[in-house]
Amino acid sequence: MSGRIFSRVITRRYTFLVTEQKKMRFDRRLASSILCFVLCMCPLTGGAVGGDESSPPQHPAQGQHSISSRSVVSFRVIASTSGLRSDSADVAVMYTTAYPGHSEQVELEIKTPVSIAGFGLEVTIDPPELADFSTVRIYVDSMDTCPAEEETCWYYFPVRECEIEPGSVISGWSFLEAHGAPGDTTQPHCDTVRILGLALFADPIPPYPNYQSLVRLGVDAACVSDTLAHRTVKFSMTGELSDPAGQPVPLRAHSGDLTIWWSVPGDANNDSLVNVGDVVFLVSYLYKNGSEPCVMEAADPNADCQVDVGDIVYLINFLFREGTPPSAGCAR
């Protein structure tokens, strides 16, 4: 029986049963039971994390936009699990940057005084309108360990696979997956990601006094208007860690904020460059039913609060006739 359960856990994907109608919550006990079975059947416990308020960024002065400008993603909230053992491990999200409509990788790093052989982390974005975790695919799979009534388990449910890459300390691990709430298969967004990593037959993470790369998560920034004053995304994180003997390791989880930068004036096609590609993009948008600019203000280089042929002429003058550089636009 144990062999059958072990085979099921290892060979099938780590899936969730979430429907839009029932709003079923992720069963953290399921993740704990998987870890416990592999790691000597010992229960794990997790700690909750809160977030500090931070001041919204100030809009840069007109003319100070540049392709090389960057803002900082700050992660600085600390919470801990107490009452288990004195040697706690830290998991922190490192600094990164993002422009509107761009995808970036956010790195989680770990430092620990003891070996780690398994972990489960849940990270949530708020507000979800400003950013999402990157979705790799949505596929349909059955839930062999379905916690619902028997007849419900005959159905099939969509599973959302999120972008994740192993860091240096777990590069040889046998199991690493990240999933978001699946819901409707037409839903493109992933606001909560749940990560499960198991060493199984690979080497555990050894003790490290300094931060080392644990995983990298994909994050997609929304096409945020330059007029939006509050451009901060709040991250909250909870988690569980286990050592090779299956004993829970207290976690200090460091989470925090992502600030989305303003667009580059004149960058109509949103590739962080101002060149002839932006001229072609505007021609396609205005006269060939092409895609709408990600940030409309970026497609208004002459700053007359509308996107039209005048912006095409303005860009051509700037690029080929030493004209005035694009200004921060005001189109809506």
What one-character-per-residue DSSP string does 42-104 give? -----B-------PPPPPPPTT---TT------EEE--B--SS-S--EEEEEPP----TT-EE
Q: What are phi and psi of 125, to 5 degrees?
A: -100, 135
Least confident of 60-74, 111-125, 138-152, 310-324: 60-74
DSSP character at residue 16: -
Confidence at residue 64, expressed as pLDDT on a 0 to 100 scale: 37
First to last CA, the chain: 62
| pLDDT higher at 67 or 311 | 311
Q: Mean pLDDT, the chain, as a whole number? A: 75
Go through the domains of the chain in sequence order and give each one's CATH number: 2-259 (2.60.40.680), 263-332 (1.10.1330.10)
For the chain, counts of helices (H) and of strands (E): 4, 13
- The single-letter code of the amino acid at 250 is P
Residue 279 predicted with pLDDT over 80? yes
**pLDDT band at residue 151 under the 50/70/90 scheme:** low
- Token readout for 62 is 């007109």
Burial 172-207 (b: 16+ CB within 10 A, else e): ebebbbbbbbbbeeebebbbbbbbbbbbeeeebbee
Read off the pLDDT of residues 190-230 as tens digits, 9 standing for 90 and up. 889 999 999 998 999 999 999 999 999 999 999 999 999 88
CA 261, 267, 273, 277 dihedral sign is: positive
Percent of the chain surpassing pLDDT 70: 66
Strand-pair category, 251-259 with 89-93: parallel
More confident residue, 326 or 34: 326
Confirm if 72 and 278 have CB atoms less than 8 A apart.
no
Asked if 32 and 44 touch (Cβ cutoff 8 Å), the reply is: yes
Higher pLDDT among residues 189 and 214, named by residue: 214
Which is more confident, 228 or 157?
228
- Work out the pLDDT band at 39, boundaries 50, 70, 90: very low
- Which pair of tokens denotes residue 131? 């950013």
For residue 222, which of 280, 179, 270 has the smallest C-alpha distance?
Answer: 270
Residues written for the chain: 332
Whether pTM > 0.85 for this model: the answer is: no
pLDDT for the residue numbered 325:
94
Do 220 and 134 touch, CB atoms closer than 8 A? Answer: yes
Q: Are 103 and 134 in contact (CB under 8 A)?
A: yes
Q: What is the mean pLDDT of residues 11-18?
A: 38
